[in-house]
Amino acid sequence: MQKFLLLILPFTFLFPSYAQEDQITFSEALTIHLPKYKKHADKAYRSKDVERANFLFDSLIDYNLKGSRMDNFKVNDLRKKSVHLNEFEKPVYLTTYASWIVPTEGEIPALNELAEKYGEQVDFVMLFWDNHSTTKRLAKKYSENITVLYVDEMNNNSPYVIKMMKHSLGLPTSFLLDRDKNILDIRRKVSHPFGIEFEKSFDLNYDSLSSALFLLLIEDSSQYSTAEENTTP
Protein backbone atom coordinates (compact mmCIF):
# COMPACT_ATOMS: atom_id res chain seq x y z
CA MET A 1 0.00 0.00 0.00
CA GLN A 2 1.22 3.44 -0.83
CA LYS A 3 1.88 5.55 2.25
CA PHE A 4 3.21 8.98 1.39
CA LEU A 5 2.76 12.49 2.69
CA LEU A 6 0.86 14.99 0.62
CA LEU A 7 1.15 18.72 1.10
CA ILE A 8 -2.10 20.42 0.13
CA LEU A 9 -1.55 24.04 -0.83
CA PRO A 10 -4.35 26.63 -0.58
CA PHE A 11 -5.45 27.91 -3.95
CA THR A 12 -8.63 29.88 -3.37
CA PHE A 13 -9.13 33.61 -2.89
CA LEU A 14 -12.24 35.37 -1.66
CA PHE A 15 -12.02 36.92 1.81
CA PRO A 16 -9.24 39.10 3.28
CA SER A 17 -6.87 37.52 5.79
CA TYR A 18 -5.97 38.74 9.25
CA ALA A 19 -2.58 40.16 10.10
CA GLN A 20 -0.80 38.37 12.92
CA GLU A 21 -1.14 41.30 15.29
CA ASP A 22 -4.92 41.27 14.77
CA GLN A 23 -5.34 37.61 15.84
CA ILE A 24 -8.76 36.82 17.20
CA THR A 25 -10.40 33.69 18.56
CA PHE A 26 -12.11 31.10 16.40
CA SER A 27 -15.54 31.94 17.80
CA GLU A 28 -15.02 35.64 17.10
CA ALA A 29 -13.94 34.91 13.52
CA LEU A 30 -17.00 32.72 12.98
CA THR A 31 -19.31 35.38 14.36
CA ILE A 32 -17.91 37.94 11.92
CA HIS A 33 -17.68 35.88 8.75
CA LEU A 34 -20.12 32.97 9.01
CA PRO A 35 -23.28 34.89 7.99
CA LYS A 36 -21.74 36.04 4.71
CA TYR A 37 -20.36 32.57 4.01
CA LYS A 38 -23.67 30.82 4.72
CA LYS A 39 -25.59 33.23 2.50
CA HIS A 40 -23.42 32.44 -0.53
CA ALA A 41 -22.89 28.75 0.32
CA ASP A 42 -26.62 28.09 0.75
CA LYS A 43 -27.22 29.62 -2.67
CA ALA A 44 -24.52 27.40 -4.20
CA TYR A 45 -25.95 24.25 -2.61
CA ARG A 46 -29.49 25.12 -3.70
CA SER A 47 -28.29 25.42 -7.28
CA LYS A 48 -26.26 22.18 -6.86
CA ASP A 49 -23.04 24.02 -7.65
CA VAL A 50 -20.73 21.81 -5.57
CA GLU A 51 -17.59 23.33 -7.04
CA ARG A 52 -18.69 26.82 -5.98
CA ALA A 53 -19.69 25.55 -2.52
CA ASN A 54 -16.27 23.95 -2.02
CA PHE A 55 -14.60 27.15 -3.22
CA LEU A 56 -16.50 29.17 -0.62
CA PHE A 57 -15.67 26.72 2.18
CA ASP A 58 -11.96 26.71 1.31
CA SER A 59 -11.92 30.50 1.13
CA LEU A 60 -13.64 30.85 4.50
CA ILE A 61 -11.00 28.62 6.04
CA ASP A 62 -7.97 30.08 4.26
CA TYR A 63 -8.75 33.77 4.69
CA ASN A 64 -10.94 34.05 7.78
CA LEU A 65 -10.32 31.13 10.14
CA LYS A 66 -6.69 30.10 9.67
CA GLY A 67 -4.51 31.95 12.13
CA SER A 68 -7.29 32.49 14.63
CA ARG A 69 -6.84 30.90 18.06
CA MET A 70 -9.14 28.08 19.07
CA ASP A 71 -11.11 28.94 22.20
CA ASN A 72 -10.25 27.03 25.36
CA PHE A 73 -13.54 25.14 25.35
CA LYS A 74 -14.56 22.52 27.89
CA VAL A 75 -15.93 19.05 27.12
CA ASN A 76 -16.12 15.66 28.88
CA ASP A 77 -13.95 12.57 28.74
CA LEU A 78 -15.17 8.98 29.03
CA ARG A 79 -15.00 9.22 32.83
CA LYS A 80 -17.43 12.16 32.60
CA LYS A 81 -14.68 14.50 33.81
CA SER A 82 -14.30 17.99 32.34
CA VAL A 83 -11.41 18.52 29.93
CA HIS A 84 -10.21 21.87 28.61
CA LEU A 85 -8.56 22.12 25.21
CA ASN A 86 -5.52 23.89 26.66
CA GLU A 87 -4.72 20.79 28.72
CA PHE A 88 -3.28 19.23 25.56
CA GLU A 89 0.35 20.36 25.39
CA LYS A 90 1.35 18.97 21.99
CA PRO A 91 0.04 20.00 18.57
CA VAL A 92 -3.54 18.77 18.29
CA TYR A 93 -5.28 16.88 15.50
CA LEU A 94 -8.91 17.43 16.53
CA THR A 95 -11.80 15.81 14.67
CA THR A 96 -15.47 16.43 15.37
CA TYR A 97 -17.69 13.43 14.68
CA ALA A 98 -21.07 11.85 15.48
CA SER A 99 -22.49 8.33 15.70
CA TRP A 100 -24.86 8.85 12.76
CA ILE A 101 -21.93 9.38 10.37
CA VAL A 102 -20.73 6.16 8.75
CA PRO A 103 -16.93 6.09 8.40
CA THR A 104 -15.40 4.82 5.17
CA GLU A 105 -13.85 1.37 5.15
CA GLY A 106 -10.26 2.37 5.82
CA GLU A 107 -10.83 5.55 7.81
CA ILE A 108 -10.51 4.34 11.40
CA PRO A 109 -7.71 1.81 10.69
CA ALA A 110 -5.67 4.54 8.95
CA LEU A 111 -6.20 6.96 11.82
CA ASN A 112 -5.29 4.30 14.38
CA GLU A 113 -2.07 3.42 12.56
CA LEU A 114 -0.99 7.06 12.36
CA ALA A 115 -1.88 7.65 16.00
CA GLU A 116 0.34 4.71 16.95
CA LYS A 117 3.15 6.14 14.85
CA TYR A 118 2.92 9.83 15.83
CA GLY A 119 1.19 9.73 19.20
CA GLU A 120 4.29 10.98 21.01
CA GLN A 121 4.43 14.08 18.83
CA VAL A 122 0.76 14.92 18.27
CA ASP A 123 -2.34 14.76 20.47
CA PHE A 124 -5.06 12.94 18.52
CA VAL A 125 -8.52 13.94 19.75
CA MET A 126 -11.93 12.68 18.62
CA LEU A 127 -14.81 14.87 19.78
CA PHE A 128 -18.22 13.21 19.43
CA TRP A 129 -21.55 15.03 19.41
CA ASP A 130 -23.25 12.26 21.35
CA ASN A 131 -24.17 11.11 24.83
CA HIS A 132 -21.79 9.28 27.12
CA SER A 133 -22.99 5.71 26.51
CA THR A 134 -22.87 6.05 22.72
CA THR A 135 -19.43 7.67 22.78
CA LYS A 136 -18.08 5.01 25.13
CA ARG A 137 -19.21 2.31 22.71
CA LEU A 138 -17.68 4.08 19.70
CA ALA A 139 -14.41 4.68 21.54
CA LYS A 140 -13.64 0.95 21.50
CA LYS A 141 -12.84 1.24 17.78
CA TYR A 142 -10.05 3.74 18.35
CA SER A 143 -6.43 3.36 19.39
CA GLU A 144 -5.48 4.05 22.98
CA ASN A 145 -3.33 6.86 21.57
CA ILE A 146 -6.49 8.73 20.59
CA THR A 147 -8.33 10.73 23.26
CA VAL A 148 -12.08 10.36 22.85
CA LEU A 149 -14.25 13.19 24.20
CA TYR A 150 -17.91 14.06 23.87
CA VAL A 151 -20.50 16.81 24.06
CA ASP A 152 -24.04 15.89 25.02
CA GLU A 153 -26.10 18.83 23.80
CA MET A 154 -29.19 17.45 25.54
CA ASN A 155 -27.68 18.88 28.72
CA ASN A 156 -27.73 22.35 27.17
CA ASN A 157 -24.47 23.30 28.85
CA SER A 158 -21.97 23.16 25.97
CA PRO A 159 -20.12 26.41 25.45
CA TYR A 160 -20.88 28.69 22.54
CA VAL A 161 -17.83 27.71 20.50
CA ILE A 162 -18.80 24.03 20.65
CA LYS A 163 -22.24 24.72 19.23
CA MET A 164 -20.69 26.90 16.55
CA MET A 165 -18.24 24.13 15.61
CA LYS A 166 -21.08 21.66 15.12
CA HIS A 167 -23.64 23.78 13.33
CA SER A 168 -21.43 25.99 11.17
CA LEU A 169 -18.85 23.82 9.40
CA GLY A 170 -20.56 20.45 9.24
CA LEU A 171 -19.36 17.01 10.29
CA PRO A 172 -16.86 15.50 10.33
CA THR A 173 -14.36 18.35 10.40
CA SER A 174 -10.71 18.23 11.45
CA PHE A 175 -8.88 21.14 13.10
CA LEU A 176 -5.07 21.30 12.96
CA LEU A 177 -3.85 23.22 16.01
CA ASP A 178 -0.30 24.10 16.99
CA ARG A 179 0.88 24.01 20.61
CA ASP A 180 -0.55 27.47 21.24
CA LYS A 181 -3.92 26.35 19.78
CA ASN A 182 -3.57 28.53 16.72
CA ILE A 183 -5.49 27.08 13.77
CA LEU A 184 -3.13 25.96 11.00
CA ASP A 185 -5.89 24.48 8.87
CA ILE A 186 -9.43 23.09 8.93
CA ARG A 187 -10.24 20.11 6.71
CA ARG A 188 -13.09 17.84 5.80
CA LYS A 189 -12.47 14.11 5.69
CA VAL A 190 -11.56 12.34 2.47
CA SER A 191 -14.58 11.31 0.41
CA HIS A 192 -14.89 8.23 -1.77
CA PRO A 193 -17.69 5.85 -2.83
CA PHE A 194 -18.66 3.18 -0.33
CA GLY A 195 -17.94 -0.38 -1.30
CA ILE A 196 -14.44 0.09 -2.70
CA GLU A 197 -11.83 -2.42 -1.60
CA PHE A 198 -10.40 -1.91 1.88
CA GLU A 199 -6.81 -1.38 0.71
CA LYS A 200 -7.76 1.50 -1.60
CA SER A 201 -9.91 3.11 1.09
CA PHE A 202 -7.11 2.76 3.62
CA ASP A 203 -4.58 4.36 1.27
CA LEU A 204 -6.85 7.32 0.47
CA ASN A 205 -7.48 7.98 4.15
CA TYR A 206 -3.87 7.40 5.15
CA ASP A 207 -2.58 9.84 2.56
CA SER A 208 -5.12 12.51 3.49
CA LEU A 209 -4.41 12.18 7.21
CA SER A 210 -0.66 12.10 6.59
CA SER A 211 -0.74 15.43 4.78
CA ALA A 212 -2.43 17.00 7.81
CA LEU A 213 0.12 15.51 10.20
CA PHE A 214 2.93 16.66 7.93
CA LEU A 215 1.69 20.23 8.32
CA LEU A 216 1.48 19.90 12.11
CA LEU A 217 4.95 18.37 12.45
CA ILE A 218 6.63 20.84 10.09
CA GLU A 219 5.08 23.80 11.91
CA ASP A 220 6.02 22.36 15.31
CA SER A 221 9.59 21.78 14.18
CA SER A 222 9.78 25.35 12.93
CA GLN A 223 8.48 26.71 16.24
CA TYR A 224 11.01 24.66 18.18
CA SER A 225 13.87 25.93 16.00
CA THR A 226 12.78 29.52 16.51
CA ALA A 227 12.48 29.03 20.27
CA GLU A 228 15.93 27.50 20.50
CA GLU A 229 17.45 30.36 18.48
CA ASN A 230 15.84 32.90 20.81
CA THR A 231 17.24 31.17 23.91
CA THR A 232 20.75 30.59 22.57
CA PRO A 233 23.24 32.93 24.34
* Segment 19-57, tens digit of pLDDT: 445 689 999 999 999 999 999 999 999 999 999 999 999
Residue 90 near residue 132 (C-beta atoms within 8 A) = no
Domain regions of the chain by residue span: 12-68, 72-231
SS (HEC) of 45-81 = HHCCCHHHHHHHHHHHHHHHHCCCECCCCEEEECCCC
Nearest to 75 by CA among 138, 139, 128: 128
DSSP annotation of 230 reads H
Does position 86 have pLDDT exceeding 90, yes or no? Answer: yes
SS (H, E, C) 75-133: EEECCCCEEEHHHCCCCEEEEEECCCCCCCCCHHHHHHHHHHHHCCCCEEEEEECCCHH
Kindly give, in sequence order, each residue whose CB lies less than 8 Å from that of residue 81, ignoring residues fewer than 6 positions away.
none
In the predicted structure, residue 209 carries a pLDDT above the cut 90: yes
Least confident of 94-98, 156-160, 167-171: 156-160
Tell me which of 13-17, 76-80, 177-181 is least confident: 13-17
> Which stretch of 108-117, 129-138, 179-188, 219-228 has the lowest confidence by average pLDDT?
219-228
At 70 the pLDDT is 97
Residue 14 has pLDDT above 60, yes or no: no
Taking a C-beta distance cutoff of 8 angstroms, is the pair 209, 198 a contact?
no
Which helix H or strand E contains 29, and what residues bound it? helix 26-46
Paired with 84 in beta bridges are 74
* Fold designation for 72-231: Glutaredoxin (3.40.30)
Instruction: Say what the pLDDT of residue 21 is.
Output: 52
pTM for the predicted model, two decimal places: 0.86
**Of the listed ranges 1-15, 47-61, 128-142, the one predicted with least confidence:** 1-15
User: Which has the closest alpha carbon to 84: 13, 137, 32, 162?
Assistant: 162
